[in-house]
């Protein structure tokens, strides 16, 4: 397994593990026991994904803990700066943050081997989770339209922090950066590729906001 | 489904749900990523058990949220009074608290129908969890023998709080109390039965402490 693939799986594995912990703790803000249980289930699914990636790394003889270590501080910082103070902030964070991360992992996974790609796709795609989040957030806004403006601002903050940590990770992990940029590209081709990736990530975010009926 | 069975499943379902949340949050105290992941898995298994009980209640046409509601405050109080401040306190709490609860649920489940009994046993028995907890605690004490005294005191506190909340629950839920005491019994038979139950719960606790090599 090459360094870039190990980095990709390491960042994803640690992302899923922190998602488990953050979603579990955000679930405590739930207004009802059913909502609490539903978010707890989403959290537990993230742990299952983490375990799948850990197993995939292990099968390739790679120590998952060592693979995750370089990404610990970026995630800690992201979560520290985006601690939700209400149930709906928690849901928007999960929807916007995980959605952005999923788009990013998809893009990078396309550049790796077929098996890794399958593991990544299985770890990040969940229609059930997305539907629960979208429906819950929309119901909340319908019940209290004043939430709309506040959550739109909050979503922008999540997106900003995600981009900023993503940038930091790319800058400190050359193998990952090279995988994305492809070292045989000319400078012009690299810029075009980066522009395309950022453009795609941004439109993914805008589509998610549109599904919520919020301004991006 | 009779009131006593609903109470038993309600208290167990809420116990498993809070165990999920508390273990997830205790896992953040883990000294290594592997230990963190291992406790996260134990937490996620508690959520699976919660979901199994919820499904069993649902199949009988019982609203799980309503069944859990009477037990919310007892668990909140228990966890408030027993918040671990170190990784090993968290492990001892999980081992002693869940072990005590498992013994209690087993005893009460024997008095219900076969299907309920099977659901309860599946929810509370986990050799893998117990082995992980015992091995981790023993390794911790071996590395730092001064832990031994502190953890023995801590285990006693967990046991005391569990007994006190258990007593409170039994006193406020007559159906559950009657199931345990059996209304056709004479006063003398009731006292004998209670003494037996408490004796069994206490010896279960002492066996668990012996497995750790700690004084009960």
* Residue in B closest to A24 by C-alpha: B21
Q: How high is the pLDDT of residue A168?
A: 83
The 10 Å Cβ neighbour count of residue A170 is 18
Residue range B153-173: average pLDDT? 88
B56-83 pLDDT, tens per residue? 999 999 999 999 999 999 999 999 999 9
Q: Report d(CA A90, CA B103) in Å as an integer.
A: 37
For chain B, what is the total number of helices (H) and then of strands (E)? 10, 0
A198-207 pLDDT, tens per residue? 888 889 999 9
Q: Report d(CA B63, CA B117) in Å as an integer.
A: 19
Length of chain B: 216
Cross-chain residue pair B24–A37, CB shorter than 8 Å = no
ipTM above 0.90, yes or no: no
The 10 Å Cβ neighbour count of residue B78 is 23
The verdict on B34 touching A (C-beta cutoff 8 Å) is: yes
Which comes out higher in pLDDT, residue B187 or B139?
B139
**Residue A43 pLDDT > 80:** yes
**Residue A184 pLDDT > 80:** no
The closest of A89, A87, A85, A84 to A35, measured between CA atoms, is: A87
Cross-chain residue pair B28–A48, CB shorter than 8 Å = no
Q: How high is the pLDDT of residue A37?
A: 93
Element (H, E) at B174: helix B174-181
pTM for the model stands at 0.85
The verdict on B80 touching A (C-beta cutoff 8 Å) is: no
């Amino acid at each position: 397994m090459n360094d870039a693939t190990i980095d990709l799986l390491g960042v994803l594995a640690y992302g899923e593990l922190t998602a488990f912990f953050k979603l579990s703790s955000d679930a405590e803000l739930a207004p009802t026991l059913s909502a609490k249980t539903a978010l707890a289930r989403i959290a537990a699914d993230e742990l299952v994904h983490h375990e799948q990636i850990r197993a995939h790394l292990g099968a390739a003889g790679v120590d998952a803990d060592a693979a995750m270590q370089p990404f610990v501080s970026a995630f800690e910082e992201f979560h520290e700066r985006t601690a939700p103070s209400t149930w709906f902030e928690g849901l928007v964070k999960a929807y916007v943050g995980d959605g952005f991360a999923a788009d990013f992992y998809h893009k990078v996974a396309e550049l790796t081997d077929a098996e890794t790609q399958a593991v990544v796709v299985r770890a990040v795609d969940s229609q059930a989770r997305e539907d629960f989040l979208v429906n819950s957030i929309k119901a909340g806004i319908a019940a209290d339209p004043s939430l709309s403006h506040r959550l739109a601002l909050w979503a922008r903050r999540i997106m900003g922090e995600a981009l900023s940590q993503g940038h930091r990770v790319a800058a400190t992990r050359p193998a990952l950066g090279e995988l994305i940029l492809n070292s045989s590209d000319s400078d012009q081709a690299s810029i075009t590729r980066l522009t395309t990736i950022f453009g795609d990530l941004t439109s993914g975010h805008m589509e998610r906001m549109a599904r919520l009926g919020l301004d991006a």
